[in-house]
Amino acid sequence: MSLLRISILGLLCALALGSAAFASAQERPYFVTYDHYLEERGNLEIAIATTTGIPKKNEGVYTAPWLELEYGLAGWWTAELYLEGVTTHGAGHGFTGWRVENRFRPLRDEHRITPVLYVEYENINEASRIQKEIVGSGSLPFEPIAELTQEQAHELEAKLILSSAVGVWNISENIIVERNLSANEGFEFGYSVGVARHLGSLARATSCLLCPENFVIGIEAYGGLGSSEAFARSEQRHYLAPVVSWRVSTRSTLKASVGFGLTSTGDHALFRVGYAYELPVWRNR
């Protein structure tokens, strides 16, 4: 079965799970895919997350944690700062860099397809493992972390985010283009696609920690699509990942996913978990 058929089958399985209203107030359950919902103006979201990879070819397991600070500068503009690191089984650990992200929503109202423009600057090194997106082709490097952290990279990334509220579902597609400013590697391409829904549709008058409306489930597919220099289909990494998020309180959300590697170049699996807490720092009265 081809990669495209596997991805489509996975998305169709998610759509067949049932129906419930998707609420924009819920933290997005995806780890890679972005939807069109931005942070509310004046809100600061503090999030911690990890990506744990189980590589193929007898390489050691690694865990890559990151800290995310997301702030709503305006109703149409959200900015984020990422700090990331990595620890491995037998190959060392280290700080792998930082990223600054901006998302802009050009249309004020929601449409059948609502676009968002995304621009990110990355100051990272070759030891980076968080895999917030996957572009280009080739497997991760598995030299000692002390060596990889010496290889610095300055990268510029752009995404076109297309997101829709289709009945009870959120459906999002991201097209990714990345340019390494430190090396002549051409433009690298990637994608991500996600669908998600609430398990329940109505909020209750009383607080309820385990109510269905506090849970969002979905699935996302993501991977690299080669570069302007070579498509390199056999070297691409692609994943299919069921996702779930749990709104623990009115301000905090816990989410998790398991990404299954669909190609020989990628890892066997990527386990992700994250926790986010939202603070109303400043708002107009």
Per-residue model confidence as pLDDT tens digits over 134-168: 999 999 999 999 999 999 999 999 999 999 988 77
Q: Which residues contact 16 (CB under 8 A, 6 or more apart)?
A: none
Share of the chain above pLDDT 70, in %: 88
Per-residue model confidence as pLDDT tens digits over 88-133: 988 899 999 999 999 999 998 889 999 999 999 999 999 999 999 9
Per-residue model confidence as pLDDT tens digits over 67-97: 999 999 999 999 999 999 999 988 899 999 9
User: Which sequence spans correspond to the domains of the chain?
Assistant: 3-280
Residue 84 in contact with residue 100, Cβ under 8 Å?
A: no
Report pLDDT for 202: 60
Residue 123 in contact with residue 154, Cβ under 8 Å?
A: yes
Radius of gyration of the chain (CA): 19
**Angle of CA points 69, 75, 76, to nearest 5°:** 90
Residue 247 in contact with residue 214, Cβ under 8 Å?
A: yes
What whole-number distance in Å separates Cα of residue 227 and Cα of residue 53? 24
Question: Which region among 7-16, 21-30, 147-156, 261-270 has the lowest average model confidence (pLDDT)?
Answer: 7-16
Q: Which residue has the higher pLDDT, 65 or 109?
A: 65
Mapping DSSP to helix (H, G, I), strand (E, B) and coil, where does residue 27 land?
Answer: coil
Q: For domain 3-280, give the CATH superfamily.
A: monomeric porin ompg (2.40.160.40)
CA-to-CA dists, residue 206 to 72, 92, 203, angstroms: 29, 48, 9
Q: Can you give the pTM of this predicted structure?
A: 0.87
Q: Using DSSP bridges, classify how beta strands 152-166 and 114-125 pair: parallel, antiparallel or unpaired.
A: antiparallel
Place of tokens 């990268």: 155
Given a cut of 70, whether residue 8 has pLDDT beyond it is no
DSSP letters along 128-146, please?
A: ----SS--BSSPPP-S-HH
What whole-number distance in Å separates Cα of residue 54 and Cα of residue 269? 5
Query: How many helices and strands, by DSSP H and E, does the chain display?
Result: 2, 12
> What residue type is assigned to position 162 of the chain?
L
What whole-number distance in Å separates Cα of residue 285 and Cα of residue 167? 33
Q: Band of the pLDDT at 213, cuts 50, 70, 90?
A: confident
**Alpha helices, H only, 143-253:** 145-148
Rounded to the nearest integer, the mean pLDDT of the chain is 88
What whole-number distance in Å separates Cα of residue 4 and Cα of residue 161? 20
Report pLDDT for 208: 80
Residue 170 in contact with residue 195, Cβ under 8 Å?
A: yes
